[in-house]
Structure 1
Amino acid sequence: MGTRRTSLPGVGTQYDFTTDEGRHISVVVHHDGRRFLGFYDADDPDACRLEVPLSSDEATALAHLIDPAPIDAVRTDGIDLVTEHIPVGARSPYAGLLLAETQARTRTGASIVAVLRRTAAHPSPGPDFRFAIGDTLVAVGTREGVDALAEIIAGG
Structure 2
Amino acid sequence: MEPTAHVSKTALPGVGTRYDLTTEAGRHLSVVVHQDGRRILSFHDPEDDDACKDATALSPHEATALSELLTPDPVAHLRQHLEIDLVTEHIPVGRRSPYVGRTLGATQARTRTGASIVAVLRRTDAFPSPSPAFRFALGDTLVVVGTREGVDAVAELIAGG
How does the TM-score come out when normalised to structure 1?
Answer: 0.51
- Pick from 137, 140, 144 the counterpart of residue 145 of structure 2: 140
Q: Partner letter of residue 145 of structure 2?
A: V
Post-superposition Cα deviations, 1:125-148, rounded to whole Å, max 9, x if no partner, equal: 000000000000000000000000
TM-superposed deviation, 1:101: 0.1
Which blocks of at least 5 consecutive residues in structure 1 are unaligned? 1-73
Aligned-partner residue type, residue 103 of structure 2: L
Structure 2 residue corresponding to 1:90, chosen from 83, 87, 95: 95
Task: Tell me, yes or no, if the aligned pair for 1:75 and 1:81 is still in contact at 8 Å.
Answer: no
1:129 aligns with 2:134: yes
Taking a change above 3 Å as real, the CA distance of residues 127 and 76 of structure 1, as seen in their structure-2 partners, is farther
Percent of aligned pairs sharing the same letter: 77
Aligned residue for 1:110?
115
Contact residue 98 and residue 130 of structure 1 kept, 8 A: yes
Which residue in 1 is equivalent to 2:38?
none
SS where residue 154 of structure 2 aligns? helix
| Match runs of 1:1-156 below 5 Å | 77-156=82-161
Change (3 A) 1:106 1:75: farther
Q: Could you say what secondary structure the match of 1:90 adopts?
A: coil
Which AA in structure 2 matches 1:146? V
SS in 2 for 1:95: coil
The alpha carbon displacement at 1:79 in A equals 1.8
For 1:117 and 1:76, how far apart are their aligned partners in 2?
38
**TM-score (normalizing by structure 2):** 0.50
Give the superposition deviation at 1:114.
Answer: 0.2
Measure, in 1, the Cα distance between the counterparts of 2:124 and 2:110.
26
Alignment deviations for residues 61-105 of structure 1 (CA, whole Å, 9 cap, x no partner): xxxxxxxxxxxxx99821200000000001100010000000000
Partner Cα separation in structure 2 for residue 75 and residue 84 of structure 1: 25
Tell me how far apart the structure 1 counterparts of residues 127 and 84 of structure 2 sit (CA, whole Å): 27
Q: CA separation in 2, counterparts of 1:75 and 1:89?
A: 40
**RMSD of aligned Cα (Å):** 1.8
Give 1 or 2 for the bigger CA radius of gyration.
Answer: 2
